[in-house]
Amino acid sequence: MRIAVFDTKHYDRQALEAANAEGTHQLVFHEARLAADTVALAEGVEVVCPFVNDRLDAPVIARLAERGVRMVALRCAGYNAVDLEACAAHGIAVTRVPAYSPHAVAEHAFALLLSVVRRIHKAYVRVREMDFSLDGLVGFDLHGKTLGIVGTGRIGLAAAGIARGFGMRVLAYDVQPDAVAAQRLGFTYCALDRLRAESDVVSLHLPLTPDSQHLIDAAWLEAMKPGAVLVNTSRGALVDTAALIGALKSGRLAGVGLDVYEMEEGVFFENLSSRGLQDDQLARLLTFPNALVTSHQGFLTREALASIARTVLDNVSAFERGEPLVHRVSAAG
C-alpha cells in the first residue's frame, strides 16, 4: 500500500525503510505534521502514518476521506489527537503501536530520576566549566525509598521491576490492577491518597484521557509527601504546568523530571536555538535547577524504533489483507 508518513525525522525514515526492506509497501515521507494545512500531501495515498503531535480532527479526517485515505496507522501509543468518531463515520480504520519497547521509556524515567536526585545535569555543566566543587550536589539514595507508580501497563510494570532492582518499595495505582504482576514483581496496589502521601518519587505511566487530564494539579501536588520527586514520561497534559511551577517555587517538590510537556507541539522535536522559546511557562520551568526536561525522547532507542516500524507496517499489511486489526482503536474503546 502507499503510505504517507508525516512528521518524519531521519531516524523514523531509517527504521521504516529497514522494516520495509522487501518493498511490501510504498513509503512517502514528509517532514511536515499532518494538519489542516498539510492534508493535500496525502493526495494519492491509501494510508497516512502520523505521529504524536499531528492533529487529525474532524475536518482533517473528512478531507483525508475525500482523497481516498482508508487507514490511519499511528506510530505511537497515544491516539487522543485523532477524532475516532469522524474516522468511523468515514470508514477509516485507525491503528496504533500500543507497546514498542516498554523498557526504553521505563529506563528513561529512571535516567531522569537519577539525574535529578544526584544532580547529574548540574554536575555536568559545572565540570565542563572546570568547577569541580561539590557544593549543592547532595542527593539521596533510591535504595529504601518508596516509588509510587500511577499506571501499571507494560511501561509501568517495567518501571516497577527497575525500582525493585534498586531496592525500592513500590506502591502502584491502576484502574485495572494486575494482581499476578504485583505478586511477581513484589509491589503493592493502593489508593491514590496513600500513594501520594507515602511516595518519595511518583512516576506517571498512564494514557491521557478526559479523566486523567491535569490529574497532577495543585491539590495533588499539595497532597504529595514533602520533598518528593515527580517524573512524567507519559503524556504532558497529565500535569498542570502552572501548578507544577507553583510547587517548585514553594519548595514542595525536591525535583521534577519531564520527558513530556502539555504544550510541546511545535517545540519538542524541533531546533529552536536560533529563534528562542516563545512559551513562557516552559521557559519558567527551565529556570529551576531541580527541574530536568528532555524533549520526548523516552522512545528513542534502536530497539524501540525498530519495533515501532515493524508494528506500523504489520498493521498496514493486516489491513490490506482484510485481517482483524489487533491494534485497532475506535470511539467505542
Catalytic residue ranges: 235, 264, 296
In order, the DSSP letters of 13-25 are HHHHHHHTTT--S
Q: Which helix (H) or strand (E) holds 329?
A: none
Q: At what angle do helices 10-19 and 302-320 cross, to 10 degrees?
A: 50
Distance CA 78, CA 297 (A): 15
Looking up cell 470511539 gives 331
Specify the 3-state DSSP secondary structure of 253. strand
**C-alpha angle 223/163/118, rounded to 5°?**
75
Residue 171: all three cell numbers together: 506502591
Return the C-alpha cell found at 191: 489508593
* Spacing of C-alpha 248 from chain mean position: 22
Amino acid at 172: A
| Burial of 289 from C-beta contacts in 10 A (0-12 / 13-18 / 19+) | exposed
Please report which helix (H) or strand (E) contains residue 244, including its range: helix 241-250
Buried b (16+ CB within 10 A) or exposed e, 6-34: bbbeeebeebbeebbeeeebebbbbeebb
C-alpha distances in Å from residue 50, one per residue of 6, 82, 107, 114, 318: 5, 10, 25, 32, 18
What is the DSSP code (8-state) at residue 76? S
